[in-house]
Structure 1
Amino acid sequence: MKFWRTLARLLGALASAAFCASSASAAFPDKTVTIVVPFAAGSSADANVRVLAEKLRDVLNTTVVVENKPGANGMIGAGAVVRSAPDGYTVLYHSASLVINPWLVKDAPEPTQTLVPIAQVASTPYILAVRSELGIRSVADFVAYAKANPGRLSCSSYGVGSPPHLALELLKQSAGIQVVHVPYRTGFAQAFVDLTLGQLDCAMDLPANVMQHAASGKLVVVGATAPSRLVSVKDVPVISTDHPDAVVTGWSGFFAPAGTPPEVVRKLEEAVRSAIADPTVLKNLATVGMSPSTAVTRDEFTKTVGSDYRRFGAIIKATGIKIQ
């Protein structure tokens, strides 16, 4: 009898816990939702998410605050969300660097195990541009020049292990060429100066950084890392035509801690997708050269996160990339 009484109490406790969890999910959200941004206040990522937060307040009908936790290439903020309660009240806004960090830094959160994708917000390709004096006018020209001059071309990105750096490495691997990577953590402004002075040969960077200088005649835009031509850079051919393995699309999106109830994740996804479609948000994303991910489902975003995690890990291992 004692066994049966104990079993009955256990089953009752489990049923009660399930009922409480279900009730909490049904009531979500009934308090403040905090969006953790692992980048500094005033950064482009911070600016994007603050516009989104304003719309999410209306959609969720609750207070939504943005909390900046910069440092360690976004790992401090990501770690804070991983350690938070899986109830949907603390979420992460991050970029593709989230799936790169674990391959470069010890103890970085492994995103496919510790976080649940909520919704993709936006995406962007990277642009390969060269200084005009080289006479390179296409991706084919670039590859031919690199093969004729192995190791002589120098190409910038905004950091070791950054998505554009990995895009460059994937192109090098696909084309069988040698190009020296030069990281510019201070941003594209300094890289552009060095390009115009002839101290740097090419750059792999964001469209918002590169395209504004293309009209000067000092840079020639030769290709984009998108899988197909995009409206935002419709005149730029895609590298994938000849090198499909070099497709790299940067993305940003929301994540919740692993274990967050599916119903809560679904409500957050619906809210984010509604906010993305707002004209103010669309205009803000276009201003910084990002394409809104209004048609990307959560399942598709989850697959992207997983595939990028594996693919970036493979190229990092193959090339021996390390953060000094």
Structure 2
Amino acid sequence: MQRRILALSALATAMGMAIGSAHAQGDSFPNKPITLIVPYGPGGVTDVIARALGLGMGKTLGQTVVVENKAGAAGAMGVVDMLTAKADGYRLTLAPVGIFRQPYIQKVSYDPVRDLTYIASFMTYDFILTVPANSPIQTLQDYVAWAKKHPGEMDYGTPGKFTANHVAMALLEKKTGITLNHAPFKGDADAINALSGNHIKSAIFANSILPMVQSGKVRALATAADKRPAAFAEVPTFLEAGYGFDVPSPLGIAGPKGMPQEVVQKLDAAIKAAMDDPAFRQVIANYGIRTDYRDHKAYAAFAKQAFAQEKDIVQGIGLE
């Protein structure tokens, strides 16, 4: 009996120390620089925005947020990194929506719901279908009509297979009955060069295409947004055209599973504050990016919903 009492006492003490340690960690966090993984190469739109957000977060947290680029695996390198990172809040990653799609397309080492702690989302990408400025196609209706008359001859560029860009065009094919020719590139830059050089007839980009649209070098036909983004106010959505779909693409920050709640809340608050920082708002304005804030609870709920929905999308449009 005495041994049992001693054992229970030891267990209670250990639990108390663990709880106390977690609270202490939350109270002192952060006391050193934080690493934020950007799962794309340096210099791109996502990289630039992440660095601006990190600077804003640092003002609230009192520590530097260091960006580490880890490109590859269709934007999932950061998530893979989280599998072995300590759950202390000092190593985080951007979490693009593609991580919810990849497990249904190929074998991956992670579960996007089970293996991550979702902290907050801060922006959303829009996807814009474009043609060269000298193309005879003026509208989305022209595009669909031409593709129906020439099955398989309308090619379109994307920054890669199974990206949200690819999904948007696969949905357009399904909704209209047209057959297109997918031309995946290594990234937006290569696809933009191919489109502007008339090597492909069309391409669908995220907001990185905005300067080309503004300069008149390419023509925007439609966006896959739920409503017209301010930066593309003159461009109709696929929804408006009657094709019944949009492709949401919120981007946020996640960490390893099991992060202390106090740390998650501090990081969440820092992200929200950074979104109001003038330098960050200027950067997103430069690219026509829409802010899209979800706190840690709403972002975790979104992750569960997105993971379930992606299975239906992938199966429905035949991307397996």
Fold shared per TM-score above 0.5: yes
CA shift digits 1:242-300 (9 cap, x unpaired): 4564311333211111111222111100001101110100111122332223x544444
Following TM superposition, the consecutive aligned residue runs of length 4 or more in structure 1 with deviations greater than 6 angstroms are none
Is 1:166–1:312's contact at 8 Å kept on the other side of the alignment?
A: no
Q: Which residue does 1:81 correspond to in 2?
A: 82
The CA deviation string for residues 28-79 of structure 1, in whole angstroms up to 9 with x for no partner, is: 2223322122223333322222222222222001233222333333333321
Match of 1:207 in 2: 207
What is the CA–CA distance in structure 2 between the aligned matches of 1:32 and 1:189, rounded to whole Å?
34
| TM-score w.r.t. length of structure 2 | 0.88
Structure-2 residue corresponding to 1:69: 70
Contact 2:195 2:203 in 1 (8 A): no
User: Which residue matches 1:107?
Assistant: 108
Q: Partner of 1:122: helix, strand, or coil?
A: strand
Q: Which residue of 2 aligns with 1:11?
A: 12
How big is each residue's C-alpha offset from its partner over 1:290-315, in whole Å with a ceiling of 9 and x where there is no partner?
2223x544444334433333333333
Q: Which residue of 2 aligns with 1:310?
A: 308
What TM-score, normalized to structure 1?
Answer: 0.87
Cα contact 1:101–1:108 (8 A) shared by 2: no
1:231 is aligned to 230
Counterpart amino acid of residue 125 in structure 1: D
Q: Could you tell me which amino acid in structure 2 is paired with residue 51 of structure 1? A: A
- Verify: 1:269 aligned to 2:274, yes or no: no
SS of the residue corresponding to residue 239 of structure 1 reads: coil
Q: 1:188·1:209 contact (CA, 8 Å) conserved in 2? A: no
Does structure 2 retain, via aligned residues, the 8 Å contact 1:127–1:210? Answer: no
Q: Is the 8 A contact 2:171 2:317 kept in 1?
A: no
Give the length in aligned residue pairs. Answer: 319
Paired residues for 1:216-227 under 5 Å: 216=216, 219-227=218-226
Q: Distance in 1 between matches of 2:69 and 2:153?
A: 41
Long gaps (5+) in structure 2: none
Write the distance in 2 (CA, Å) between the matches of 1:214 and 1:31.
42
Match of 1:46 in 2: 47
What's the CA shift for 1:195?
A: 5.9
CA 1:125–1:43 in 2, change beyond 3 Å: closer, same or farther?
closer
CA distance in 2, matches of 1:32, 1:283: 25
CA 30–222 in structure 1, closer or farther in 2 if over 3 Å, else same: same
Q: Is the 8 A contact 1:32 1:64 kept in 2?
A: yes
Whether contact under 8 Å (2:132, 2:195) holds in the other structure is no
What is the rounded CA distance, in whole Å, between the counterparts of 2:279 and 2:257 in structure 1?
A: 31
Which structure shows the higher helix fraction? 1
- 1:126 counterpart = 2:127: yes
Superposed CA RMSD in Å reads 2.5
Q: Deviations over 1:67-112 (max 9, x none)?
A: 2333333333321123211121211123223323323332242211
Could you tell me whether the CA contact under 8 Å between 2:119 and 2:295 is conserved in 1?
no
Amino acid at match of 1:208: S
Q: Provide structure 1 residue ranges, at least 5 long, that are not aligned to the other structure.
A: none
The equivalent of 1:137 in structure 2 is 138
Identical-residue share of aligned pairs (%): 25
Secondary structure at the aligned position of 1:145 is classed as helix
**Whole-angstrom distance in 1 between the partners of 2:62 and 2:192:** 44
State the 1:169 CA deviation: 0.9
| SS class of match (1:292) | strand
Conserved? CA contact 1:214–1:220, under 8 Å: no
**Residues 184, 274 of structure 1: CA spacing in aligned structure 2 closer, same or farther, 3 A cutoff?**
same
Given residue 126 of structure 2, which amino acid in structure 1 is its aligned partner? P
